Amino acid sequence: MKKIKENIVKWGIIGVGDVCEVKSAPAMQLIEHSDVVAVMRRNEEKVKDYAERHCVSKWYTDADQLIADPDVNAIYVATPPNAHAEIVIKAAQSGKPVYVEKPMARTVEECRAMIEACEAGAVPLYVAYYRRRLPNFEKIKSLLEEGAIGDVRLVKLELYKTVDPDIVANITSSMPVNWRIDPAVSGGGYFFDLAAHQLDYLDYIFGPIEHVHGFADNQAGMYKAADSIHGAFQFATGVSGVGSWCFAVDEKAAKDEMVIIGSTGKITISFFGAPIVCLERSGHPGKEVFEFEMPKHIQQPLIQTVVDDLLGVGACPSLGESAVRTNWVMEELTKNYYS
C-alpha cells in the first residue's frame, strides 16, 4: 500500500548538518521518484548556504514551518537525538511519514512515544540504521542463512577507541563540547552513537535480544557520559553475545572487531573499518576474504527502501518497532550508570 498520495517523495529535512552533506540527503536527490524540496536549520546563514550548494529551493529556520509546508510530504529528522521525539511527534500529527537518524531517541520512553504518535497519525516511522542494506553486512547475513559456519553459538563485539582531542573538550578547553559526549543530548555518549549500529545489526540477523546484563562506568573523567561499557546478552533464538566498549584507550589498544562464532567456523569483520568480511570454516584451508565497495552516499541503499515503501513497491527493513529494541538493550547495559 502506498504511504503517500503523490508518485514522488518530496522530502523536507530538519537539521541539515554534517550527516546531510554526503551520507544521506544527496541520495534523496539521486533516487528516482525522490527529491529534497525544503531544508531547515536554526542558523540562517548555514541553512541558506546548504540550500544553495545542494540546489534546494526552500529553506527555513523553524522546524514547524517546514513540517507545515504543503509541498513536503515526508520528513527526514537529522538533528541530534534530544530533538528526535518532539519533531517526529509533530510530523506524525501533521500526517507525514518520518525517517529519523539513529539512535532513534535518547530513551526507550521517547522511542515509544514516537511510535505511538506515528500509529495514531497512521504514518510509517523509519530509522537510519543503514547497515541493514550495505553489501558487506548483507553478505554476512547470507553466509549465516546458508549455514556457512553451522549453528551460531556466540557473537563477540569489541570497540576500543582513543580520546580524540578534536572532538572531546574538557572544562579547561576553549573548544565547544561535541554533542555526542553530552548524555542530555545524545542519550549516552559515544556508546549510544556507535554501539547502536552494532546492536541494531545483530537484531537484524539474529532477532530480538531477550536478556541483558551490563555495567558502565566513566574511567577517564573527560566528560559526563559513560566511556567504558561491558555486558552480556542473549537472543530469543538462544544465540549468546558479549560486548566490550571503551572510548578512552591508548592508540596501541584501539580495536574494532566483531566475531560471529559457529559450530563449524567463524566470521570476522571490522564494524566501522574497511568493508571486508573474513570467513574461516572447517574443511576449507586458510581464510576466505570478501571485499566490497561502499556507495558514495552510505545511506542510499536504505533510503531507496524507504522510498520504495512509501510508493508501495517495496519494504524498508528498519522501522521504529525494531529500533526501540536497540535503545532498550543500550539502556539495560548502562542503567547502573545513568539510573
Tell me the pLDDT tens digit for each residue of 177-234.
789 999 999 999 999 999 999 999 999 999 999 999 999 999 999 889 999 999 999 9
Q: Cell for 171?
A: 572544562
pLDDT of amino acid 197: 98
The answer on pLDDT for 176 being more than 90 is: no
Question: Which residues share a beta bridge with 14?
Answer: 40, 77
Which of 65-69, 125-129, 161-165, 301-305 is least confident?
161-165
307 vs 179, higher pLDDT: 307
| Start-to-end CA span in the chain (Å) | 42
Residues in Cβ contact with 338 at an 8 Å cutoff, skipping those fewer than 6 apart: 183, 188, 216, 226, 331
What is the C-alpha separation between 21 and 284, in angstroms, rounded? 43
pLDDT bin (cut points 50, 70, 90) of residue 49 is: very high
pLDDT of amino acid 254: 95
Domain ranges of the chain: 9-131, 135-294
pLDDT bin (cut points 50, 70, 90) of residue 168 is: low
Strand order, beta sheet including 74-77: 58-60, 34-40, 9-14, 74-77, 98-100, 125-127
Average pLDDT over residues 279-307: 96
pLDDT of amino acid 173: 53
Nearest CA-CA partner of 211 in 237, 236, 176: 236
The answer on pLDDT for 167 being more than 80 is: no
Q: Cell for 27?
A: 541520495
Q: Which amino acid belongs to residue 177? A: V
pLDDT bin (cut points 50, 70, 90) of residue 171 is: very low
Three-state SS sequence of 203-251: HHHHCCEEEEEEEEECCCCCCCCCCEEEEEEEECCCCEEEEEEECCCCH
Question: Which residues share a beta bridge with 157?
Answer: 243, 258
Average pLDDT, whole number, for the chain? 95
Long-range CB contact pairs, 167-176, < 8 A, 24+ = 168/222, 168/223, 170/222, 170/223
What is the C-alpha separation between 6 and 70, in angstroms, rounded? 12
Instruction: Say whether the peptide bond before residue 103 is cis (omega within 30 degrees of 0).
Output: yes
CATH T-level topology, domain 135-294 = Dihydrodipicolinate Reductase; domain 2 (3.30.360)
Give yes or no for a contact between 161 and 190, defined as CB atoms under 8 angstroms apart.
yes
Average pLDDT over residues 245-267: 97
What is the C-alpha separation between 273 and 136, in angstroms, rounded? 11
pLDDT of amino acid 121: 97
The reported pTM is 0.95
9-131 classified as CATH 3.30.390.50: no
Nearest CA-CA partner of 170 in 222, 228, 226, 227: 222
Give yes or no for a contact between 255 and 244, defined as CB atoms under 8 angstroms apart.
no
Q: Cell for 276?
A: 571486508
Average pLDDT over residues 144-163: 97
| Share of residues in the chain with pLDDT > 90 (%) | 91
Average pLDDT over residues 33-48: 98
Average pLDDT over residues 83-100: 98
Give yes or no for a contact between 168 and 178, defined as CB atoms under 8 angstroms apart.
yes
The answer on pLDDT for 71 being more than 60 is: yes
Neighbours of 151 (CB within 10 A): 10
Domains 9-131 and 135-294 share a fold: no
